[in-house]
Chains A and B, each alone.
Chain A
Amino acid sequence: MTEAGQVEATEAIRIEDLCKSFGPNQVLTGISLSVQRHEVVCLIGASGSGKSTLLRCINLLEPIDSGRIALLGQDVTAPDIDQNLVRRQVGIVFQSYNLFPHMTVMRNITLAPVKARRMPRPTAEEEARALLSRFGLLDKQDEYPDRLSGGQQQRVAIVRALAMQPQIMLLDEVTSALDPELVAEVLDVIRELAAGGMTMLIATHEMGFARDIANRVCFLEEGQIIEDAPPDQLFTNPSDDRTRRFLRSIVDAGRM
């Protein structure tokens, strides 16, 4: 780490001592995390441990109380930052899909490229079709979201985020609202993204998937990263008692 510039260039996400509270409720209490380019990091932990809030802070959907977030070497918590420009580089996919119900799949995907990046509509539609066919959704382009299954809606939501050509993808429990039989199709999409070298920060309850796809897994509890390790180490030989307790509860629930 002799030359700071070089280090920054390979670092996609750098978070330093991030704190965030909602009123009296301390949600994040000093998070520090670094994600390299092309790295896939999974966040695990009980509901309320701060996974979602962390992702929403990185996307600037939540203002932070203190700390620093740098994306691709740029401090995005600086006061003069253009939040819209930052968000165009960071895609986020939500648990509840949040597709726009009054628009077709095609319009859902092309809205942001056309309105925010000023891409000509024909170009945007061409790129959208390319993404849709890559994920086996081309025949759904003229459907409205309510005509799609949950799995299809979530895949469209991922395509919608990808259409902005983000450098980083944040996935917030994207399979938690899905029927078990629909989970696989969404996980396959994420696997393909990882294979393509996408930098991803993934909050998930799918332990098998996390173990399978992640370069590193972070266990969160009470707004702090308790343990940050490669999946093999974290799942088989966790160093912290709290991690061990959490994993045991997962095993007891038959979820691993």
Chain B
Amino acid sequence: MDPLLSGGIGLSEILIVLLKVVVAFAGLMVGVMAMVWFERKLVADMQNRIGPNRAGPFGILQTLADGIKLFFKEDLQPERSDPFVFKLAPYLALVPAFLVFTVIPIAGNFSDGQDGVVTLFGHETLMQVADPQMGILFVLAMSSVAVYGVMLAGWSSGSKYPLLGSVRASAQMVSYEAALGLSVATVLLFAGTLSTNGIVASQAGWRWNIWMTLLVPFVVFVIAATAELNRPPFDLVEAEQELVGGFHTEYSSIRFALFFLAEFMNTVTMSAVIVTLFLGGPSGPIPSGAPGWVQDFLLPLIYFFAKLLVFLFVFVWFRATLPRFRYDQLMDLGWKFLIPLALGWFLILTAIKVARDQGWNPVVAGAVAALAVVVGGLLLRSSIRAAEDKDFDAVDPADLDGAGA
């Protein structure tokens, strides 16, 4: 809960809220521009090319130039499209992308049991736009709303390729959301709160969830997040070779720009969510003798952005390195591997935590739970085998129309 908004809300509180919102908005826009440039430049380096180098120093204004160009392009509405839904879809993609970032803590001192409260213009507040109690649920809710943007864009275009792309996208995003949610549940087990500020505070003093949860939920989350973002190697949604441009094939001009913006903004915010959940957000070693602004703002911001940059780099690295999955491989990985793994890991950690609380032997409890999970895994394996052995598409020749004619 943000102490700023817990009491009465007067003019000064509203002004601080507006300041935060505008700074977050501007920061996100600049961040997205930088991310597009970073991705193009880095992929170019990895492919032994130069990349954008004309607009501004090192081509850093390339995204801005592209954006301005898109403003001057003709905005077309295909004749077969559904007019209202076609116009609504870009908004449904962009607005959730903005909103996810509101719950990300980007600074504040979390060392020595402090809860990250800073003083801004004489008011106590948190260095995040909002801190609702259900913080992390809000992230999941917004990523669910983003599915509607993609789905409706493809459905309303009245064209073949966007429809195929959007149906693929929604099935993919929905499948990996289950794995995403299950690995978040493991983090919540350790944090004991849904508030993002509380999750970061629970990781203070190097108790980062990445090793507290023994790495597996982190790996599941990163893979599921990559799929959720429709980024390579899970970019079947816009597989150029088969679907032209995927769900936004029929979009042009500024509407296309909004989809593009949403896509990169989601990459940035999802990296920030990973940092918040698993790497302790802005927390890190803070010398106690330092002045207040260094403790509250400078060092946490540096830690947060350093961690963020690691994941942005990793996402670009994935793109430059890994070939695209086939659709059945994608679905098998999500449903038959990541979801059972995340579920099993959650149960093992729950057993260990409860055993510690109850004074049972945690090793025995963990071993029993692990045994149960292994049995479950073997059952899963035999189920997959059973499905492979059945021939569901077999047709009785007598049923064939005109057989033997």
Q: Do A and B come from one complex?
A: no
Q: Which residues of A contact B (CB under 8 A)?
A: none
